[in-house]
Amino acid sequence: MQIYSSLVQGAQEGNKRFAVLIDPDKYSMEQLKKLINISQKAGVDFFFFGGSLLTRDQQDLFIKLIKKSCDIPVVLFPGNHFQINIKADGILFLSLISGRNPELLIGKHVVAAPYLKASKLEVIPTGYMLIDGGNRTTVGYMSNTDPIPAEKSEIAVCTALAGELLGLRLLYLDAGSGASNPIPLNMIKQVKKYTTMPLVIGGGIRTPSQASGASKAGADVVVVGNAIEQDLKLVPKLSEAIHS
Ligand code: 1GP
């Protein structure tokens, strides 16, 4: 439980964590090497690894390269059960609790369970909630679910509470990769106020001030993917904003 313990400890002590999302479809080997290098120097805490849809067969090679090059833990953030890879350190075992698609609440998990049980991956039961970020995102389309409206903090709070009472250990509020609007700060504050699970916030965060805003509002882990794919030089700036 090293990854999860470190998340709990961070949440208790107010030490914010920065996760860089690597969608393997979006990187070449050369770019990934640069990202690893810059992330090590910038003090990135985790690599979240995965995407809604993988069209290039790079996952295995990329995870091997990261594990060989640095100590930053690789946490799978899988779009589907084909993305389970035993070379990673852990996996967010996501239940899409904002949606009403039974396959993503429990169905795919049944298929994945025996592989995960037989692996050494640290499995982190995660309540995954999609929040409307102002545009239709790949994850919204692929999951065939409606996101929670951005102004409905009370629905987000009740959904998060239900996840907590069901025994989930981590909460991830996601506006979806490339969202026009990140998760509203008020929603982050409200969810943080009423729940005790470590809170991960991602989707549509592009600037250090947005990252710092999410962190100050109550995010224990801030995730950025898309903006870093566009500009690797953002990594140290985001890291400083989140960690300070
Ligand atoms: C998406 O939360 C992640 O699932 C990160 O989103 O790519 O927009 O940073 P971005």
Q: Give the C-alpha separation, 214 to 145, whole Å.
A: 24
N-terminal to C-terminal alpha carbon distance within the chain: 26
Ligand 1 pocket, 178 CB below 6 A? yes
State which of 17, 21, 142, 238 you would mutate to test the pocket of ligand 1, scoring each by most atoms of that ligand within 8 A of its C-beta: 21
Q: Give per-residue pLDDT as tens, 133-181.
A: 999 999 999 999 999 999 999 999 999 999 999 999 999 999 999 999 9
State which of 226, 231, 232 you would mutate to test the pocket of ligand 1, scoring each by most atoms of that ligand within 8 A of its C-beta: 226
For residue 179, the CA-to-ligand 1 centroid distance in Å is 8
Q: Give the C-alpha separation, 114 to 134, whole Å.
A: 37
Residue owning the nearest CA to atom 1 of ligand 1:
177
Mean pLDDT across 203-232:
98
Phi-psi region of 178 (alpha: psi -120 to 50; beta: other; left: phi over 0): left
- Reported CATH class of domain 3-238: alpha beta
Q: Does residue 235 contact residue 38 with C-beta atoms inside 8 Å? A: yes
Ligand 1 pocket, 179 CB below 6 A? yes
Number of H helices, E strands in the chain: 11, 8
Task: Answer yes or no: is pLDDT of 1 > 80.
Answer: no
Q: Give per-residue pLDDT as tens, 186-212.
A: 999 999 999 999 999 999 999 999 999
Classify strands 74-76 and 122-130 as parallel, antiparallel or unpaired.
unpaired
